[in-house]
Amino acid sequence: MLAVTSLSINAPFWFNVRPQGPNFFALNMGLCLPFALGLSVAFPKRKVIAIDSDGSLMNDSSSLITVADVNPANLVAFVMDNGSYAFMSSTFTTRKTDLAKMAQGAGIANASTVKTLEEFSAAAKQAMESAGPTLIVAKVERDAGRVSADRSRTSGRPMREWFMDAVRRHPDYQGGR
């Protein structure tokens, strides 16, 4: 399974949860979902998960349309929606924007919003066991503090090298033939 995270606390949290394996951390605004989509096309037989944020997805919501059209069965996108831009002001999801509905409008049939851990657990399990693409908007609280993780593993060129190393060693890797 390959994973891609956006900026925000998604990156260090995910690193602490699953440091090994092909992970691409801390993609900037709007880039997490389309990057994960690309990865899903490179590894069609493996689940690819995107751990995105509401602000990031809204920066380029058109990526939802591309996901629907490519329609990869192996893509699962989680949108951690805390209704805020980091420690700054609130995003549009605290007002009128419904990301799951936008995803449905884009053409992603399996798009839902979850508010409790039980709902999240059930939706995630379902997504990992069935054909996608699936989008799960998880309403979460704002995080209280900053979390740090090893920068050399979660950002920039060093992160990219760790990722490429894991990808090259993956049994399904198609490159370099």
Partner 1 sequence: MDKQSVQVIIETLKEEGIDLAVTLPEEPTFSLTEAMREDPFFQAVTVAGEGNGLAFCAGAALGGRRVVFVTGIAGLLVGTWALSQMGMVYGAPILILASYRGDFGDHSGIPGSQLLMFKQVAEPLLGALRVPYRIVNQKATLKRMIQEGSFACQDYSHPIVLLLSGEVLW
Partner 2 sequence: MKRFDCLRLLAPMVDPYMLTVTSLSSNTAFWSDLRREGANFFGCNMGLCIPFALGLTAAFPKRKVIALDSDGSLMVDSSSLITVADVNPPNFVAIVMDNGSYARMGSTFTTRKTDLEKIAQGAGIANTATVRSEEALSAAIEHALATSGPHFIVAKVEPDRVRVKGDPHRTHGRFMRECFVDAVRRHPDYQSGKKERLTGS
- Rounded to a whole number of angstroms, the minimum distance from the CB of residue 84 to partner 1 is 9
- Rounded to a whole number of angstroms, the minimum distance from the CB of residue 71 to partner 2 is 8
13 near partner 1, judged by CB under 8 A = no
How many other C-beta atoms can be found within 10 angstroms of the C-beta atom of residue 58? Answer: 19
Give the footprint of partner 2 on residues 61-80 (CB under 8 A).
61-62, 64-66, 68-69
Is 171 exposed, middle or buried (CB count within 10 Å of its CB: 0-12, 13-18, 19+)? exposed
Choose from partner 1, partner 2, none: what does 100 bind? Cβ within 5-8 Å by kind: partner 2
CA distance 108 to 102: 9
Residue whose token pair is 């007002």: 95
Question: For residue 151, what are the contacts with CB-CB under 8 A and spacing of at least 6?
Answer: 158
Binding site for partner 2 (CB under 8 A): 58-62, 64-66, 68-69, 92, 95-107
Binding site for partner 1 (CB under 8 A): 26, 28-30, 58-61, 85-89, 92, 151, 155-157
